[in-house]
Amino acid sequence: PARYFDTKTTEPISFFLSGLEELLAWQPNSNDDFNVSAVPLAKRQPPLHSRRPRTLVCHDMRGGYLEDRFIQGSATRNPYVFYHWRYIDIFVYFSHHTVTIPPVVWTNAAHRNGVPVLGTFITEWTDGEKLCEAFLAGGEEAYSAVAEQLARIAQHYRFDGWLVNIENTLSAAAVGNLPLFLQELTARVHSAVPGGLVIWYDSVLKNGTLRWQNELNDENRMFFDACDGLFTNYNWKEEQLERTRRLAGQRQNDVYVGVDVFARGDVIGGGFDTDKSLRLIRQYGLSAAIFAPGWVYEHLGKENFLQNENRFWGLLAEYLSTHSICTLPLATSFSLGMGTSTFLDGKDEESGPWYDLSAQDIQPLYPEHQGRLTTSCCLRDAWCGGSSLQLQGTIPAGEERVAVRLFSLQMPAPPKLFVTLLYKMEGPQPDDFTVALEVTTWDTGTCLEGNPTSLPEPNGRHYPRFLPAPPPGLAKLLAACHRGSHGWTSRCYELELQDCSLRDLSVIVSRQQPSLQETSFTCLLGEVRVLDTASVAASPLQVHSVTASQLWWQ
């Protein structure tokens, strides 16, 4: 069927639903098994519902369902990718189809990085009025059926809820039932999807007129009260933020103030000035909804996209709270889910562009220190996948080392950790530098390293012990300790901790010899793994009853 398989290539594709009939007729179907997300939502700290301002990203690009619709990837050159997951809380996939089911590749990438994904339910123009009249003015049975279907769709495809956007006028009967519909949809999503969300877009008022308010007020508050949050329109002024905060009270973090990166209309900021809007929004303790950050790709072009993307998010970083990883194992090759080649064990196995967000790895923080350090993605060389993480910087005169924070962690430390690292120094004198890992712990007063007689490290910094060879029982799994090749160096470490809580994982680049001159370096990171020894040593679960379906022989 053309909905599920691309007519030219027969490959499985993601799809949307148009109109009320398609929505009500939807049933799970064996043809769309490919569209079910295979990656559960990773835990992270702080959790979504903690009380702090959040950041939502709403992805709207040329109507949606572009090359990202190919579930098993495509040979796309210079595709759009998003990878600053550590800095955001919610990802919305937006299009103008009635029911936008997020392409599963986005759900997989976001979930691997701990970010929930929402689809969009939208009605607009005259057709939207008719659609709303049919299901909202039709009474409880009609709107309940729509709420039930939307909740079932999110549950079946394993994404996390809906943005609801009613952009057309409503009759008195329809607007009267709208809060009841929102309440029912929210309750059904909460029960069908753990941690599910329903967010309302600032559009229709309580009397049914379509008039964007750019704030929370008495005209739209009834819709905010019926669901998990409000996404405001983009043309706000500072006094509206003040009024919104006052009216939202305890729920101020559930108001996502809209910021259009394309800066359409009378807005503050946009483009590389988006930080101006965020600064104001955060002054009032409100959450932010960044709309169409794909501006970087669409407006500035594909050529320097990765560089421009790092610049865009780097400018916003001080207004975004970062998220910690809180489960082990942590293993990543930093792949973006795209590349100009496919690498395996440091070797370029297959030249040619590819794009598959499901293959995107856990993404690190992307720290920038003006003039001292940049962290970026390198496509020309990788250990595994399509890219490595490139650290470029200078060690200042008189100093010996630079520390680059890759991940913030928040979890009790297991008694024994294995940490592995693969890296490659570039430049004329790679042997002038050493590269190592540093693990920091929270200062709990009880945290000890190694045996009970050792003294606690000042400020909780630990340098795991270098292992020339993996311990006997783990040799197979930790083949990493010996497996550097194609210019990559492999390192294996062990760290024993007692009563500690993990805080950060950083990479340290040091010079071999002290120097009174500043020294520049370029280091590629190919892979980092942090493993709990006990669970690695345990024998893996046996797998039973494997079935294969949807086989297509060519």
CA torsion angle 54 338 193 129 (round to 10): 80
Dihedral sign for Cα atoms in the order 371, 373, 375, 381: positive
- Predicted confidence pLDDT, tens digits, the chain (554 residues): 889 999 998 899 999 999 999 999 999 998 889 999 999 999 999 999 999 999 999 999 999 999 999 999 999 999 999 999 999 999 999 999 999 999 999 999 999 999 999 999 999 999 999 999 999 998 899 999 999 999 999 999 999 999 999 999 999 999 999 999 999 999 999 999 999 999 999 999 999 999 999 999 999 999 999 999 999 999 999 999 999 999 999 999 999 999 999 999 889 999 999 999 999 999 999 999 999 999 999 999 999 999 999 999 999 999 999 999 999 999 999 999 999 999 999 999 999 999 999 999 999 999 888 778 999 999 999 999 999 999 999 998 888 999 999 999 999 999 999 999 999 999 888 888 999 999 999 877 777 776 544 444 556 788 887 777 666 666 666 665 556 688 899 888 989 998 889 999 999 999 988 888 889 999 999 999 999 988 877 777 889 999 888 787 76
Q: What secondary structure does DSSP assign to 518-532, as a single string?
A: -EEEEEEEEEEEEEE
Residue keyed to tokens 């794909």: 294
- Amino acid in the structure at residue 430: P
The backbone torsions φ and ψ at residue 541, rounded to the nearest 5 degrees and listed phi first, read -65, 145
Q: Please tell me the distance from the alpha carbon of residue 409 to that of residue 323, in angstroms, as a whole number.
A: 8
Q: Ramachandran region of residue 285, left (φ > 0), alpha (ψ -120 to 50) or beta?
A: left
Interacting residues of 158 by C-beta distance below 8 A, sequence separation 6+? 36, 37, 40, 107
Q: Please tell me the distance from the alpha carbon of residue 70 to that of residue 61, in angstroms, as a whole number.
A: 16
Q: Please tell me the distance from the alpha carbon of residue 307 to that of residue 282, in angstroms, as a whole number.
A: 26
- Amino acid in the structure at residue 99: V
Query: Residue 242: its pLDDT value, please?
Result: 98
Q: Are 46 and 81 in contact (CB under 8 A)?
A: no
Q: Domains of the chain by range and CATH? A: 16-26+49-323 (3.20.20.80), 330-537 (2.60.120.260)
Which has the closest alpha carbon to 503: 325, 288, 314?
Answer: 325
Q: Are 55 and 290 in contact (CB under 8 A)?
A: yes
Q: Which token pair is 405? A: 């924070």
Which has the closest alpha carbon to 231: 155, 292, 150?
Answer: 292
Q: What secondary structure does DSSP assign to 110-138, as a single string?
A: HHHTT--EEEEEEEEHHHHHHHHHHHTTT
Q: Are 372 and 329 in contact (CB under 8 A)?
A: no
Query: Residue 448: its pLDDT value, please?
Result: 75
Q: How many Cβ atoms sit within 10 Å of the Cβ of residue 367?
A: 18
